[in-house]
Amino acid sequence: MVDLTAPLRPFSVMVKPVGSTCNLRCSYCYYLSKPRLGPARMSDEVLELFIRDYIASSTGPVVGFVWHGGEPTLAGLDFYRRVVELQKRHAPAGWQCWNNLQSNGLLLGDEWCAFLAENRFDVGLSVDGTAWLHDRFRPDTQGEPSYHQAVAAIERLKAHGIRPDLLCTVTAATAEEPLTVYQHLRSFDTGWIQFIPIVARIRGEITQDSVGPDQYGQFLCTIFDQWITRDLGRLDVQLFAETTRVLAGGEAGLCWMAPTCGRAVVVEADGGVYSCDHYVTARHRLGCLCGGDPGETRDSTTTVLRALVDSAAQDRFGQDKQTGLPDKCLACPHLALCNGGCPKDRLDDGLNYLCAGLAKFFAHATPKLTRLIEASRAGHTPAAIMAEFRAAGG
């Protein structure tokens, strides 16, 4: 039993209601190869255990739910109707539940979009830049293209009043077309773009489709210069926004930029809780919402999520990010921005595979973002700030 009088430390949960099941076969997917953990879809019993437990474990008054996959819409629309019903049932008076659905868009018809809009879901939608890049890396289960279905979902969501976050992976091929990719994504006018570098391994070797460190750095710098001279106030790019936040004295919202990790866990379809989305392995299984793991008990009054996230095993997992830094990281002028990056991308020497690219971007962007912060605090408008950067040659 958890001591509910103890101070609460915030954490987040990524829920996998259908596990690794997906209706695409993305070539770079790190989750598709995961074995199915439990049923094809999270049961109503496990769903209610999770929602009640997570709300009771949260600091409130807003509780954020992230529904991920695989492809989480494969759980069915009725599943999410049940989600909303249970959230309303278990949330204390004055609390709100916020939902984010990460999707490839293939199933997002008008009924889905109307439901998501009515219940104020945020939506992250994956689209890999241009049609040829998207279709090269994101075919469906029959090997057919999926780009036009993703674009149709974007437009359908917008028609229902939802401006989806656009998630674009960066492969070696994508990195060769930074402005084409950026301008294409910008044309959807959704207001938010995330670039997710692909670093994949086969038998320990980095794949050819993975973005190169220098490639990635140049990709970011090229897009950054376009953004800071043309698009301030119109859209945000996640890495640029997070870097600005840290330079302004705030804390990074991205786990890979934080000094330690471990406060973002995964709940699988069977109720199993794991250390991280990239570490859904037997070694990193923290326990189960339903009980059944060694030393666990479970009844209708027990709150276990907080205990698992605050456990010694998870604390070690999070601290390892910091304690494992090589000397080069510790001496780096950009350490406060990167903190060694995501542990999944570290090489045998402890250095992050993307180190050179991230350093290139931070060295390029930091002076301009520092000036952006100064100008914003002085009350300058985005238009005036962009004009200043254009006059200075970008």
Q: Which domains does the chain have, with CATH numbers?
A: 12-320 (3.20.20.70)
CB neighbourhood size of 83 (10 A) = 25
Contact 245, 251 (CB under 8 A): yes
Reduced to 3 states, what is the DSSP secondary structure of residue 170?
strand
> Which tops the pLDDT comparison, 368 or 4?
368
Question: Rounded distance, CA 316 to CA 221, Å?
Answer: 35
Contact 155, 121 (CB under 8 A): no
Residues 6+ apart with CB under 8 A from 192: 163, 165, 166, 235, 236, 237, 238
Q: 31 pLDDT band (50/70/90 cuts)?
A: confident
Sheet holding 192-197, edge to edge: 236-237, 192-197, 165-170, 122-126, 96-103, 62-67, 12-15, 264-267, 272-274, 285-288
Distances (CA, A) of 22 to 16, 76, 133, 309, 375: 11, 13, 20, 27, 45
Task: Write the pLDDT tens digit of every residue in 144-180.
Answer: 999 999 999 999 999 999 999 999 999 999 999 999 9
pLDDT at 6: 52
C-alpha of 23 from chain center: 20
Q: Which of 71, 166, 67 is nearest to 126 (CA)?
A: 166
Question: Taking the model in full, what pTM does it have?
Answer: 0.93
Reply yes or no on whether 231 is catalytic: no
Residues 6+ apart with CB under 8 A from 181: 129, 130, 133, 168, 174
Catalytic residue among 135, 209, 277, 310, which? 277
Beta bridge partners of 265: 13
Contact 174, 27 (CB under 8 A): no
Give the chain's count of helices (H) and strands (E). Answer: 15, 12
Amino acid at 271: G
Task: Write the pLDDT tens digit of every residue in 327-353.
Answer: 999 999 999 999 999 999 999 999 999
Task: Write the pLDDT tens digit of every residue in 230-242.
Answer: 999 999 999 999 9
Contact 87, 97 (CB under 8 A): yes
Contact 86, 33 (CB under 8 A): no
